[in-house]
Structure formats: C-alpha cells, structure tokens
Structure 1
Amino acid sequence: MQKTTLYIVRHGQTEWNVQKKMQGHRDSALTELGESQAQWLYESLNNVEFDGIYTSSSLRAVRTAEIISGKQKVAIIRSDQLREINLGEWEGRIQEDIEKKDPERFKSFWKTPHLFKLNSGESFVEVQNRVLPELKDIISNHIGRNILIVTHTVVVKILMAYFEERSLSDIWNPPYIHPTCLCKVVIEEDKPFICLHGDISHYKQQITESY
C-alpha cells in the first residue's frame, strides 16, 4: 500500500506580520524570529527525506523552504499557484486602518470569506480554483513519497479545508495558522488522514502574540 505524506507549512514571521500589514502578493523579509521558526522546524523534520519540495514563489516562502530543506539535494520548485491570496488595494496597509476605512469588506474577509471580493485582487473561490489543481498535480507526481509544501495562511486554510471536506464559509475555523506551523496529511488509497493541523510543537520559545 502506497502512502503519500504531505508536510504543509506556512512561511516564517515577516516584517509586515509584525507591523500588522496585509501582504498578499506583495512581500516582506523574514524577521530574525521568522528565520528561527524555520530553523526549529528544520530540526524537527531533520530525519524526513523529501522527494518533492514546492514553495510559493514569494520570497518569504522561498526563504522558509530553503531553511527547512537544509542540505537536502531535492530541487525547490517555485510555484505562482501557491502564492497568497491577492489582496489588491489592501496590500501593504495596516489591518486596523483597513477595518476603519473599509469595514464591510474587512468584516466579510473574516466572517463571510466565501462571499468576499475586493475591487481588485482575488476572491477565496478564485484562490481555491488555482490552488487545488496544483495540489492534485503535486500529489500525482509523488505518489508514495514525502512532499514539503511551503505557502501562506489562506492557502494553508484552503488546502486543509479540502482535506476536511469543509466549506469556504468555515475557512477561518480553528486552529490558528501560526508562522511555520505544520500540517501533516497522509494519503492512503486516495483517502486523506490528518495527522497534524497547525502544529507548533517545534517552537523553542513561548508565543507572546500571533502574527
């Protein structure tokens, strides 16, 4: 019986995470803590040999993937399909300011994500439509193998909702997706088994605030 194991990871903490800015397709560098978070996960997964490593093409995810993969010789494949939701005019803006100036859509983002839409950028449905075919392609190319996927909060939520058969309207249900948290999914006979969801047991210091 072939067993395919997915290790799905959010990128490490970034400068804009600390500043509470929306990132989306725009980027900011990992903080010192963000690099440490990736290093902690590398140490936790040090005994896992990856047969495929895929990352969002955003540099915060690429850097996280580089740290986690360590000295493994598997090529890191960058994918635009694994990028965060495009937040258009919200990108680079502080969440509190968005909430004040665009309260209805900000509320929709968190409370009715299946209905969310900006004047520019993507809806959650559009992200789902680009992410899930990519996931299925990755799995089909590595059946019976270990796969690392490094991506972003919304994408992690959509991937895990797919495995849970959960609707987009409930996308923000717990657990919280902390930086470099680990979701581990084992697929046997086309059936997914969720072993870890939002796991941060590799953290070496207490979380004082969520980003």
Structure 2
Amino acid sequence: MTTTVIDLIRHGEPVGGQMFRGSKDDPLSITGWQQMVAAINMDDRWDVIVSSPMARCRRFAEQLAEQREIPLHVDDDLREIGFGEWEGLTAEQVQQRYGDHLNRFWQDSINFTPPGGEAVTDFYQRVILGFDRWQDRLAGQRILVICHGGVIRMVLANVLGIALDKSFTGFAVPYACRSRLQVDQSEFGVFRSLISHQP
C-alpha cells in the first residue's frame, strides 16, 4: 500500500480584491500574504510543493519552499480558468456590461462560456491531467499544492464524483482555504478520499 497525502491551499487575497481574475496576474495583497501565513502551521510537514505559475500562488510557494528547504515544481496546467472578457471585472460590472451572462454561467457553466473565455470542460480536463500527473509522480509523499479556487473545485469534483455543472456552486472555496486528500494505492486499485475541507 502506498499512501499519498495532498494538501490543496487556495491563494490569499490578490491586489485589487474580488473580481474575475483568471489569467490576470495580480500578486497577493498584504492581507493575502497574512492569510497564507495564517493557513500554514508550524507542524505541517510536506516533502514537496507544487504551484500554479500565477504570481498570487507562485511567490508564496517560492518563499515557503525556501524556508522549508523542499523542492518546488510549477505547473501551467494548475493555473486558473480563463474568464476572457470578464477578467478584471467585478460581478456587478459583468452584469452591467453583459446582462444575463453571469446568471447563465452560474446556472449552466458547461454550456455557457464567458466571451473569449475557457470552456469549463477544457479547464476540467487540463486541471485533472496536471493533478493526476503529480499524484502519480510524487506517490507516497506529502504534497502541498498552492493553486486557485477553480482548480480546487475541479479536483474535488473529480474525487467526490460531483457533476461538473455543479462544481462551481456546490461548495465554498474562500481565500487561503485548505483541503486535504488522501490517495491509497494498492493491488486492489486507487482509493481517493477527501479528509478535510476548511473554508
């Protein structure tokens, strides 16, 4: 039996606050750094860190990897979903400019993609491909993944069998939220379970 423990932590608040950020590469605000520091415990033990390439994830990951003297891997597949023309806009601004588009996205994100954005099905496939690759490559280790709310939603939807059309609205993933997964691999197959989810 090989057991892998994977902690997923969403980045803290970025500069500019709440908005559809996607590929907009804002760094963490001072509050965001404080949120991330508070999310990490002295008794946390990881063998390796995997991070999204976005500044709001990567800069904290780099500092933590240096402090803990553990390897850091950066994976482009773990970046946030692209929101296209919505990026940089608040929910209110999207509603003002695009009418009922936001409601349509929340109600049917599978079939409605923001103008110029990334389809949720493509996003899901990209994230799971990247996540599974690290799960296999780092099997038996304790892994910290620093990433995004959308990425965590895709991973948890995959592990828990949540329908993709419910994945964006099915559970809360606030800034610096932590989720722990355990992966047990044996001759009987692979068993993945959610151990904790702490918004």
TM-score w.r.t. the length of structure 2 is: 0.91
State the percentage of identical aligned residues. Answer: 23
Deviates more, 1:160-169 or 1:61-70: 61-70
Q: Counterpart in 2 of 1:193?
A: 193
Aligned to 1:147: 143
CA distance in 1, matches of 2:103, 2:65: 37
Q: What is the match of residue 31 of structure 1?
A: 29
| 1:172 counterpart SS class | coil
- Give the alignment partner of residue 96 of structure 1, picking from 88, 92, 95: 92
State the match for 1:209 in structure 2: none
Residue 157 of structure 1 contacts residue 171 of structure 1 at CA under 8 Å; is this kept in 2? yes
- Counterpart of 2:126? 130
Change (3 A) 1:173 1:90: closer
Amino acid at match of 2:153: K
Q: Which moved more, 1:95-104 or 1:126-135?
A: 95-104
Please tell me whether the aligned partners of residues 27 and 58 of structure 1 are also in contact (alpha carbons under 8 angstroms).
yes
CA RMSD of aligned residues (A): 1.6
Q: Is the 1:85–1:154 contact (alpha carbons within 8 Å) kept by the matching residues of 2?
A: yes
2:20 match: 22
Alpha-carbon distance, 1:30 to partner: 1.1
Q: Which aligned pairs between 1:178-189 and structure 2 lie closer than 5 A?
A: 178-189=174-185
Matched, 1:159 2:155: yes
Shift of 1:118: 2.7
**1:2 aligns to what?**
2
* 1:41 and 1:68 in contact (8 A); partners too: no
TM-score normalised by L of structure 1: 0.86
How far did residue 160 of structure 1 move? 0.6
1:71 aligns to what SS in structure 2? helix
CA contact (8 A) 2:110 2:165 kept: yes
User: How far apart are residue 132 of structure 1 and its match?
Assistant: 0.5
| Cα deviations by residue, 1:19-64 (Å, 9 ceiling, x for unpaired) | x32110012121211111111122x2x3233222111100001123
Maintained 8 Å contact 1:38/1:67: no
What is the aligned residue count? 195
| Distance (Å, rounded) in 1 between the aligned partners of 2:45 and 2:8 | 15
Gaps of 5+ in 1: 201-211
Q: Cα distance 1:77–1:36, how it changes in 2: closer, same or farther (>3 A)?
A: same
Gaps of 5+ in 2: none
2:77/2:127 contact within 8 Å kept: yes
Amino acid at match of 2:101: R
Match among 76, 79, 91 for residue 80 of structure 1 = 76
